[in-house]
């Protein structure tokens, strides 16, 4: 669990601080338009989401350790190759695409491991796993500002590459669940080997356990696309993908338009991450202890987050921004804390690699489009007000779509019942 938390901290730290990195790049390439700058954000977030099902299947096939290790090397390579800083499109490939591939390879196995290791307290475990994301934002944002002022843009990339290589060390701590099961069985056999009678009894228990073994994990399960409830998830992510994660990337730019300094922007980003981590931890524990309905909490979180995003357009100083960010962070924390729990609950833990992966893939496709779209709107309107209105509306619309899940579930159940072949009536004359 600690390794998964720290991997999320490093990966999300880079993602959450990218709004500040984006401003650094715009300063280094002053003639860059909003659309061209959107390519960096689009490639980073797009590859991170689009390749999620592939990396989920890869984690199932080759194991989490090899997957995270390869991802660590790609992240470091992307940062090192960005040092020449040739042009904005070169930076989009290195800092965006290459690092994005490495990030998704590093963070995907953690989602699967938490689902495997934790059953009864899965909601709490997912909350702890997801808490690593805002922790990275707390640490990385001021670090990026400090590195930029002390070592410049290129020196910052070199040092950040060294920091991200710690992912390789964390990869060695990720023990596959199947290996953990074998170790537990071997320890059980050693304890019972002292007595032949106990050993035979142990063998009986092991055989019974083997018969009760859960179904094997599926690398890719395309039957999910035939499930109306899963299609509802996909439609929901089309809408929610507009503010997530673009809100985090554009809030520093909005703060800069209000005249905030670099350190104030770092404080703003770190505050958002701090509030986010508090909400994620509270969400997992409160929902678990009070036995709240995850679906209802999920919808409420999206609606509150959307309101917070809309309120950004009415902010004119740092304190007002902090209030709007608090509301948005509540919705984002609810979304990431409960999403995996809901997927495992509705579609099974054995299909987690597919249900979560396909969802991230759709989000990744939208992440290729949305950053450039928001950048184009910014260029046309001359401000970030309209982009934030669009993002807030997307969050609220996503909550409205997910609120239809009970009705879609009833329709799906009725269709399944109608498609089942009717059993022929057992007429008394047909009895012997």
pTM of the predicted structure, to 2 decimals:
0.73
Higher pLDDT residue, 198 or 409? 409
Q: How far apart are CA 70 and CA 102, in angstroms?
A: 7
pLDDT confidence of residue 217: 58
pLDDT per residue over 340-355, tens digit each?
889 888 888 778 778 8
pLDDT per residue over 168-216, tens digit each?
999 998 877 666 666 765 776 677 665 555 455 555 444 444 444 555 5
Q: How far apart are CA 386 and CA 356, in angstroms?
A: 31
Q: Tell me which residue range forms the domain holding 394.
A: 2-176+218-417
DSSP codes joined into one string, 339-388: HHHHHHHHH-GGGHHHHHHHHHHHHHHHHHHHHHHHHHHHHHHSSSHHHH
Give me the sign of the Cα torsion angle 119, 121, 122, 123.
Answer: positive
Is residue 160 included in any domain, yes or no?
yes
DSSP codes joined into one string, 91-146: HIIIIIIIHHHHHHHHHHHHHHHHHHH-STTHHHHHHHHHHHHHHHHHHHHHHHHH
Q: Find which of 46-55, 93-102, 360-369 is predicted with most confidence, using mean pLDDT.
A: 93-102
**CATH number of the CATH domain containing 267:** 1.20.1250.20
pLDDT confidence of residue 211: 42
pLDDT confidence of residue 205: 46
Number of domains in the chain: 1
pLDDT confidence of residue 100: 92
Give me the sign of the Cα torsion angle 66, 67, 71, 74.
Answer: positive
Is residue 358 included in any domain, yes or no?
yes
Is residue 219 classed as helix, strand or coil in its secondary structure?
coil
Is residue 303 included in any domain, yes or no?
yes
Instruction: Provide the percentage of residues in the chain whose pLDDT is more than 70.
Output: 85
Is residue 190 included in any domain, yes or no?
no
Higher pLDDT residue, 431 or 231? 231
Q: Does residue 113 register a pLDDT over 60?
A: yes
pLDDT per residue over 116-131, tens digit each?
777 777 777 777 777 7
pLDDT per residue over 388-408, tens digit each?
999 999 999 999 999 998 888
Average pLDDT, integer, range 143-155: 92
Instruction: Provide the percentage of residues in the chain whose pLDDT is more than 90.
Output: 38
Q: Does residue 280 register a pLDDT over 60?
A: yes
Q: Does residue 54 register a pLDDT over 80?
A: yes
Closest CA relative to residue 314, chosen from 304, 324, 306, 303: 324
User: CB–CB of 315/162 below 8 Å?
Assistant: no
Can you read off the two tokens belonging to residue 182? Answer: 């074998």
Is residue 320 included in any domain, yes or no?
yes
Is residue 205 included in any domain, yes or no?
no
Q: Does residue 284 register a pLDDT over 80?
A: no
Give the pLDDT band of residue 37 (cuts 50, 70, 90). confident
Q: Does residue 135 register a pLDDT over 90?
A: no
Give the pLDDT band of residue 430 (cuts 50, 70, 90). very low
């Amino acid at each position: 669990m600690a390794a998964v938390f720290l991997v999320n901290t490093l990966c999300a730290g880079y993602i959450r601080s990218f709004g500040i990195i984006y401003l650094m790049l715009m300063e280094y390439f002053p003639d860059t338009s909003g659309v061209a700058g959107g390519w960096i954000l689009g490639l980073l977030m797009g590859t991170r989401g689009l390749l999620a099902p592939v990396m989920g299947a890869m984690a199932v096939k080759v194991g989490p350790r090899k997957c995270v290790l390869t991802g660590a090397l790609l992240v470091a390579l992307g940062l090192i190759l960005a040092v020449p800083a040739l042009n904005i499109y070169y930076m989009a490939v290195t800092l965006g695409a290459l690092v994005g591939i490495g990030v998704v390879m590093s963070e995907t196995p953690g989602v699967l491991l938490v689902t495997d290791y934790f059953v009864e307290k899965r909601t709490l475990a997912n909350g702890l796993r997801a808490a690593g994301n805002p922790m990275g934002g707390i640490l990385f944002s001021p670090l990026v500002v400090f590195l930029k002022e002390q070592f410049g843009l290129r020196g910052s990339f070199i040092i950040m590459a060294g920091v991200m290589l710690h992912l390789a060390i964390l990869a060695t701590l990720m023990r596959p669940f199947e290996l953990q099961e074998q170790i537990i069985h071997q320890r059980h056999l050693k304890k019972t080997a002292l007595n032949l009678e106990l050993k035979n009894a142990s063998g009986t228990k092991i055989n019974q356990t083997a018969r009760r073994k859960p179904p094997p994990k599926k690398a890719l399960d395309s039957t999910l696309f035939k499930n109306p409830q899963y299609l509802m998830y996909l439609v929901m992510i089309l809408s929610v993908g507009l503010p997530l994660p673009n809100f985090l990337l554009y809030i520093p730019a909005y703060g800069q338009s209000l005249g905030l300094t670099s350190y104030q922007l770092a404080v703003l980003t770190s505050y958002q991450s701090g509030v986010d981590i508090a909400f994620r931890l509270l969400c997992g524990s409160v929902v678990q202890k009070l036995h709240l309905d995850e679906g209802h909490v999920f919808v409420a979180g999206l609606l509150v987050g959307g309101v917070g995003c809309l309120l950004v357009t009415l902010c004119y100083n740092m304190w007002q921004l902090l209030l709007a960010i608090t509301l948005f962070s509540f919705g984002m924390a609810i979304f990431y804390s409960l999403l995996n729990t809901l997927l495992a609950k509705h579609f099974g833990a054995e299909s987690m690699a597919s249900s979560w992966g396909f969802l991230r893939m759709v989000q990744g496709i939208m992440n290729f489009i949305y950053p450039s779209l928001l950048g184009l709107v910014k260029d046309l309107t001359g401000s970030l007000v309209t982009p934030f209105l669009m993002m807030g509306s997307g969050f609220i619309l996503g909550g409205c779509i997910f609120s239809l899940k009970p009705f879609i579930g009833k329709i799906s159940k009725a269709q399944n019942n109608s498609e089942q072949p009717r059993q022929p009536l057992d007429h008394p004359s047909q009895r012997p």
